[in-house]
Amino acid sequence: MSSHDVSAGGTVAELGEFGLIRVVTAGRTQPESTLLGPGDDAAVVAQPDGRVVASTDVLVQGVHFRLDWSTPEQVGRKAVAVNLADIAAMGAVPTSVLVGLACPADTPAEVVKGLTDGMWAEASGAGAGVVGGDMVQAGQLVVSITALGDLGGRTPVTRSGARPGDVVAVCGRLGWAAAGLAVLHRGFRSPVTVANAQRYPEPVYAAGPAAADAGATAMIDVSDGLLADLGHVAEASDVGIDVRTGLLEVHPRLVEVGTALGNDPLRWVLTGGEDHALAATFPPSVRLPEGWRGIGMVTKTGSGVTVDGEVYAEESGWEHWR
């Protein structure tokens, strides 16, 4: 049976909890790591390493996504991607995700099916499976994802291992999601590549394990802004980090959009969140893995994050409740 053999018409209330579960699980495939998928009290997932890397994130409608900006499929992809990026940032390979979904009773079932289509697509593209979850009624749409990963014998790369003299490097796009947010806030829907960067990120999942294999000393998922997240590394490692703007990539498309909207594209690169690139520190003797590029250095103990040797005067990134 394919997923198209089960009707997703009407609302979630009309379809019912278990009917909705049948719609979103029918015809799905699982990776070899899924020993028991959806349909029982809990899933069973193989973890050959013997250690489980786990992460969870909650996405709330109106805070993390808007359905007038994004399709349900794009929201589903984003919900999974932001979690799998955290798994990659530990040097692990994603294996599985668990989904918690809360929504009003009058939510069209097609919206939920679209969400789960996006979740399955993003998970399977990363080699992971959607192995279970829960659905409940609520006053607004909320998606919670728990992701699991396997270290494959690697030592987990934390935020606390950076040392003075290390090279700071990034892999993935920076500033694109912030530019997309600016575009969408102005009521535009193009350039599509920029708007889509806000709708769903495109993390380079394989870059995390590759960095770990190369000897990365610290690593983090850039979710709240490059400077803000490097600040977490600096604090956890008790070091300073200096970012060199001359080493940062400011894509011509970001310059084009920034000029049109009256925004500084470099600020998007430095402080814009939701791209879910990876940032890491490497010993100076290490050859950076493919796709990684140096953007700065780890400096003396406890000196915080600077830009071209100076304290950055603007907000460094996103923080909830501020």
Binding-site residue set: 41, 55-57, 64, 86, 133-134, 159, 221, 223-224, 274, 318
* DSSP letter, residue 128: -
Exposed (0-12), middle (13-18) or buried (19+): which is 115, by Cβ within 10 Å? Answer: buried
Distance CA 34, CA 162 (A): 35
Distance CA 200, CA 131 (A): 22
For the annotated binding site for ATP, the residues are 133-134, 159, 223
Distance CA 102, CA 51 (A): 30
For the annotated binding site for Mg(2+), the residues are 41, 55-57, 86, 134, 221, 224
For the annotated binding site for substrate, the residues are 64, 274, 318
Distance CA 245, CA 261 (A): 21
Fill in the amino acid letter for 35: L
Distance CA 116, CA 99 (A): 9
Fill in the amino acid letter for 277: A
